[in-house]
Structure 1
Amino acid sequence: MPQTGQRVDPYRSFNFLVELDGIAQASFTECSGLGSTTEVIENREGGDNTTVRKLPGKTTYTDITLKWGATTSMELWEWRLQIVQGLVVRKNGSIVVFDLANRTEVVRWNFDRAWPTKWEGSAFNAKGSEILVETLVLAHEGLARV
């Protein structure tokens, strides 16, 4: 932990790596959707007619969206295809952020029991010069910063 008055710069969002069990996808251009929400249960207690008590309910996790430039790699497509064919294969994974020198891991989020709910291909435009971008949306059952 830094000393009082010591400057602490925030981490940069562009130097990250996505790890998925058994998948060696080289790199992703974007990762979004790290989040969780806990439901609020409102409860009135007898005799206290002016205040509503708020209790925590179930927690849900936001789907993680991954985007990458299309290559010859078929691993993510084949994982999605397994789901389409009725074979649910879940994988654990991590989002890892590195320092500017790309040598030291500075923060990591682990997610549990993920499976691809959606795949989307790139739009095509004969007048453009953009790269082909594929998108994969992952549902998961837990998120922890370690």
Structure 2
Amino acid sequence: MASAPPAGQGQQGAAAAASPLAPSEMYRNYNFLLRLDSTEVRFTECLGLGMRIEPIRYRESGVGNVVRALPGPVAYAEVVLRYGLATTPDLWNWLKRTAEGAVVRRNVTISQLDNDGATPRINWNLYGAWPCQWSGVPFDALGREAAIEELRLAFDRLDRA
């Protein structure tokens, strides 16, 4: 037989007890900022931040039925940045120089902001980033959406601070 929550707790209190974090401790995914070197750039979306350590599987001699794994090479996912079509040519010029063979590597910081929308709480630093893909605006004469470009960044190393 299930018992009722203690007086004053109600359903809201029971839900909060089941959550590992209080709502004030959880960050919102729309509170983020991106810095290229020391310049702040606003994006509408930032996707694909991740890394994978490839397991190398092997069998020890004498123990043929056990497959063990060692950590192998580290691979970083490409970060996808989506942004509204802007008049500033800075990102386009960076991409164009890369396409012409003059790769300019920049350090990029993605900051998770506190719920106040201003205080950086967690930073992911991408070292040696360079643009590896660009997708233009999908034009549609009947569309009503904002014009959004996409830029993908490859990078050498990632850390969290």
TM-score between both structures, scaled by the size of structure 1:
0.90
Larger radius of gyration: 2
The match for 1:91 is 106
Matched, 1:39 2:54: yes
Letter paired with 2:87: T
User: Runs (4+) of structure 1 moved beyond 6 Å?
Assistant: none
In the alignment, is the contact (CA less than 8 A) between 2:34 and 2:40 conserved in 1? no
* 1:52 Cα deviation from its structure 2 partner: 1.2
Q: Which sections of structure 1, spanning at least 5 residues, go unmatched?
A: none
Secondary structure in structure 2 of the residue aligned to 1:130: coil
In the alignment, is the contact (CA less than 8 A) between 1:23 and 1:75 conserved in 2? no
* 1:6 Cα deviation from its structure 2 partner: 7.2
1:34–1:6 Cα change, 3 Å: closer
* 1:93 Cα deviation from its structure 2 partner: 0.8
Higher normalized helix content (fraction of residues): 2
1: CA distance between counterparts of 2:100 and 2:64? 54
Matched, 1:14 2:33: no
% same residue: 40
Q: Which has the higher contact order (CA 8 A, sep 6+)?
A: 1
1: CA distance between counterparts of 2:39 and 2:133? 17
* Deviation per residue, 1:45-71 (Å, 9 max, x gap): 111122111100000000000010011
Match of 1:126 among 141, 146, 158: 141
* 1:131 Cα deviation from its structure 2 partner: 1.4
The match for 2:129 is 114
Secondary structure in structure 2 of the residue aligned to 1:81: helix
1:78–1:6 Cα change, 3 Å: closer
1: CA distance between counterparts of 2:121 and 2:103? 32
Letter paired with 2:107: N
**What's the Cα RMSD here?**
1.6
TM-score between both structures, scaled by the size of structure 2:
0.82
